[in-house]
Amino acid sequence: MSLDKANTQYFEATRKAGEACLKTFTPQMGKRYTNGRNFDRGAGQHRDVSMLSPYVRRRLVLEKDLVNSAIKAHGLEAAEKFIQEVFWRGYFKGWLECRPIIWDLYRKGLIQDIQELNRDRSLRRRIEVAETGQTGLDYFDSWAEELVETGYLHNHARMWFASIWIFSLELPWRLGADFFFRHLLDGDPASNTLGWRWVAGLHTRGKHYQAQAWNIAKFTNNRFNPRPEDLSEIVEGLENEEPEGLPVALPIRTPKVPDLSRPSVLLITEEDCRPEDFDLSSLNLIGCATLSASHLRSPLTVAPIIDKFEQSALGDTASRINLDISELRAGTPNELLRWASRAGASQIVTPFIPTGPLRDWILKAQPSLKEAGIDFIEWRRDWDEAIWNYATAGFFKVKKQIPSILQITGIL
C-alpha cells in the first residue's frame, strides 16, 4: 500500500493547501456527508469525509471556517451532521482542559505500560504483530498498514481498530492510543486520548464501543467480511481500572493579557499555525521563533511523517509573519529562556497551548522564565471559549448549545 499522488498533494502542510481542500469539499458537507460519512472505502478512496483534520489540528484551517462554509452552502439543518462532527473536536479539547489530570494519568500509565512491554517478551511480540499488521485479521492489518504509511485513518476504522485492540486482542489501551498518536497526522492529545477512553468505556461510564462483524462488512461495502468468532462476543468496559470514577471538572485557566508596551517575542507552535489572526501589530514585537515539538508526543519514536508535516506547517506559518524567524526544537525547557533573553524580551506571546505534551514542556520552562521576569502570554480563540464553557460533561451538553455558540461566534 502506498499513498497515491492525489493524497500526497492533499496533505501539503500549508494554509493555502488546506483552504483549497476546504473549498473542494464544501459542496459535500450536506446530504452526501450525512449519508456517506460512516463508510470506510480504504486508502486513497475516502471521498465522503473531508480529510481536513491534519489542517484543523494545526489551525491552518479553522473550525469556524468549516462550519461557516457548511451553513452557507447547505443551511444549518442539512449540514447538521458535519457541524456536529466539527464540534466534537472542540468538546474533547474543552473536556480535557477541565480535567487535565486525565492527561497526566494517561502519560503516567503509558510509561508503566512501556516498562512492562520491555519486561514481557510475549506482550512485546503481540504488540509488534498488531502494529505491523500481522494478526491475520485482514481488516485490522489493513488499517494498521494504512495508518503507518499514510498518517491517516477513517474515523469509523479508528473505532473498530481500538475496539479490536482492547477487547479482541486484549492489548493495553494506552499502548494503542500511543500507536495512533505516534502515526496520525491529525493526532491530538484530547481527541486521541479521549477517543480511546470512550471506546474502552472510561469516558462515558457504562458505555463502550464493540466492533461487530456485520458493522465492519456493511460500512466497508463488503471490502472486508470478518468472521464473528474472530471478534470478542462478550465485551465489558474497563471501568474497573478507575473505580473512583471521573474527576470533578475544574475551571478552565484564564490566559494573561499581553502588555502592549513590553518588548515581546512571538512563539509559533503546531497548536495554532494562524498567529496572524491575532493583533500582532499592537505588540512591541522584537523577535519570533517556531518551536517544533511533535517528538514530544510519545516516549517512543514518533513517525517521521509527523515531524515532516509539522516542519512544513511551521515553515509556512513563518513565511506569513514579517519578522526574523528563529527555529527552536523542544529539548531542554531552559532553551525557551535563552532565546527570549538573547532577544531582549520580557514577554513571550503565543496562541493558546492546551493540555498535552507541549503544555507539559511549557510548564517545565515557566519557573526559569518567571525567575528571569519573562511572562508567558497566550491568546485563546473565541471559538474555544464559547465551546469549552459547556464541555464539562457529555457531548449532549455542547450539542444543545450549538445554535447559541454559532450566534456568539458570529456565524449566525
Confidence band, pLDDT 50/70/90 cuts, at residue 60? very high
The reply to whether 91 and 113 lie within a common domain is no
The reply to whether 62 and 86 lie within a common domain is yes
- Give a yes or no: residue 256 inside a domain: no
The reply to whether 277 and 355 lie within a common domain is yes
96 contact partners, CB below 8 Å, separation of at least 6:
102, 103, 189, 190, 193, 194, 354, 355
The reply to whether 9 and 87 lie within a common domain is yes
Query: How many Å apart are CA 211 and CA 156, to the nearest integer?
Result: 10
- Number of helices (H), then strands (E), belonging to the chain: the values are 19, 5
The reply to whether 366 and 404 lie within a common domain is no
Q: What is the pLDDT of residues 64-113, one digit of tens each?
A: 999 999 999 999 999 999 999 999 999 999 999 999 999 999 999 999 99
Confidence band, pLDDT 50/70/90 cuts, at residue 6? very low
The reply to whether 198 and 112 lie within a common domain is yes
- Give a yes or no: residue 250 inside a domain: no
The reply to whether 84 and 106 lie within a common domain is no
- Give a yes or no: residue 400 inside a domain: yes
Q: What is the CATH number of the domain that holds 83?
A: 1.25.40
- Give a yes or no: residue 392 inside a domain: yes
Residue 375's φ and ψ, nearest 5 degrees, are -85, 145
Out of 206, 241, 276, pick the residue that ends a domain: 241
- pLDDT higher than threshold 50 for residue 8: no
The reply to whether 84 and 136 lie within a common domain is no
The reply to whether 168 and 224 lie within a common domain is yes
- Give a yes or no: residue 117 inside a domain: yes
Q: What is the pLDDT of residue 394?
A: 94
- Give a yes or no: residue 85 inside a domain: yes
Q: What is the pLDDT of residues 131-143, one digit of tens each?
A: 999 999 999 999 9
Q: What is the CATH number of the domain that holds 295?
A: 3.40.50.620
Contact 273, 317 (CB under 8 A): yes
Residue 182's φ and ψ, nearest 5 degrees, are -75, -15
Residue 7's φ and ψ, nearest 5 degrees, are -65, -40
Look up the domain containing 361 and give its range. Answer: 263-380
* Residue of 288, 298, 287, 306 whose CA lies nearest to 360: 298
Cell of 176: 494503542
Q: What is the pLDDT of residues 103-127, one digit of tens each?
A: 999 999 999 999 999 999 999 999 9
Q: What is the pLDDT of residues 283-326, one digit of tens each?
A: 999 999 999 999 999 999 999 999 999 999 999 999 999 888 99
Region for residue 221 given its phi and psi (left: phi exceeds 0; alpha: psi -120 to 50; beta: otherwise)? left
Instruction: State percent of the chain over pLDDT 70.
Output: 97
Per-residue CA distances from 86 to 53, 97, 275 (Å): 10, 18, 21
The reply to whether 172 and 290 lie within a common domain is no
- pLDDT higher than threshold 50 for residue 280: yes
- Counting the structural domains of the chain, the total is 3
Q: What is the pLDDT of residues 213-262, one digit of tens each?
A: 999 999 999 999 999 999 987 778 788 888 888 999 999 999 999 999 99
- Give a yes or no: residue 328 inside a domain: yes
The reply to whether 107 and 220 lie within a common domain is yes
The reply to whether 68 and 13 lie within a common domain is yes
Q: What is the pLDDT of residue 10?
A: 52
Q: What is the CATH number of the domain that holds 116?
A: 1.10.579.10
Confidence band, pLDDT 50/70/90 cuts, at residue 5? very low
- Give a yes or no: residue 252 inside a domain: no
**Residue 38: exposure state from Cβ atoms within 10 A (0-12, 13-18, ≥19):** middle
